Amino acid sequence: MTISHEDALMQLDIDIDTTLHSGKRSFRLRMQFASDSRRIVILGPSGAGKSLTLKAIAGLMTPASGHIRLAGRTLFDAAAGINLTPQQRNVAYLFQDYALFPHLTVRQNVGFGLVRGWRNPGLDQPHAAVDYWLQQFDLQHLAQQFPDQISGGQRQRTALARALAARPGALLLDEPFAALDRALRVTLRRELDQLQCRLALPMILITHDPDDAIWFGGHVLKLCDGRLDEAELDAVKDQR
């Protein structure tokens, strides 16, 4: 497929420095890198600061200093006093345990971001986009079920559908395969790979499993104890 001019620009430019305190211990995160790749993988052991980085990009955590720019938009700039709220950032976040709304059906979950205002989407409210995404992830038959009535893999798909239905500019995935068994993991890796190709949507994935990095490819960064591994910073931009 040809890469159009707009497609080529992912432009994640992140440079943040922040310290978190919990009790007597503190953790310092210093992230600094730029990438034009549409697939970025942040690899590192647990406690390295991967989730924190992702949350900073989504706006769920405000760093002490630095800036974050994505696709030409400045999401955060401490010096200039810019800090877009999560609502304004137009990114999608896939939480590690999916964060599906337990009081809403699969259908209502998927359509959640499409309805502004103070009322949730109705149980049977017809919506073309919701139907489309339910179909894309093979969830039509589960539309009226509640999150605790469906399996782990189905929950992940619902979370993905919910994230993508809102038409985000980028997709952030927090250890998307960690809670799944081996077979499911293989299946979903392939699905995610195909999804990214088809949608050409920039994705940033964090994981502790090197296999995920190999499979997903793209720009792989190694994060350890709040700092990027210097030697790996010149990674090859490998887009499959």
Partner 1 sequence: MDIHSISITLGLSLKVAAWATALNLLLGVGVGFLLARGRFPGRALLDTVLTLPMVMPPTVLGYYLLVVFGRQGALGGWLQSQFGINLIFTWQGAVIAAALVAFPLVFKPARAAFEAVDGQLEQAARVLGISECGIFFRVTLPLAWRGILAGLLLGFARAMGEFGATLMVAGSIPGQTQTLSIAIYEAVQAGQDDSANTLVWLTSLVCILVLLAAGRLAPGRIAHQHAQ
Q: Which residues bind partner 1 (CB under 8 A)?
A: 58-60, 85-87, 89-93, 95, 97, 99, 101-103, 112-113, 116-120, 146, 148-149, 162-163, 166
Distance of CA 156 to the CA centre of its chain: 12
3-state secondary structure of 97: coil
Q: How far is the CB of 115 from partner 1 (least distance, A)?
A: 9
Q: Whole-number minimum distance, CB 148 to partner 1, in Å?
A: 5
Kindly tell me the burial class for residue 126, based on how many C-beta atoms sit within 10 Å of its own C-beta (0-12, 13-18, 19 or more): exposed
Shortest approach of partner 1 to residue 104 CB, angstroms?
A: 8
Distance of alpha carbon 90 from alpha carbon 46, whole angstroms: 27
> Which of residues 71 and 186 has its CB atom nearest to partner 1 in the complex?
71
Closer residue to partner 1 in complex, CB, 32/149: 149
Instruction: Pick between residue 163 and residue 213 the one whose CB is nearest to partner 1.
Output: 163
Question: At closest approach, how far in Å is the CB of 177 from partner 1?
Answer: 19
Q: What is the DSSP letter of 158?
A: H
**170 strand-pairing partners:** 91
Phi, psi of 65 (to 5 degrees): -155, 165
How would you classify the pairing of strands 227-228 and 219-224? antiparallel
User: With respect to partner 1, which residue has the nearer C-beta, 174 or 228?
Assistant: 174
Length of the chain: 240
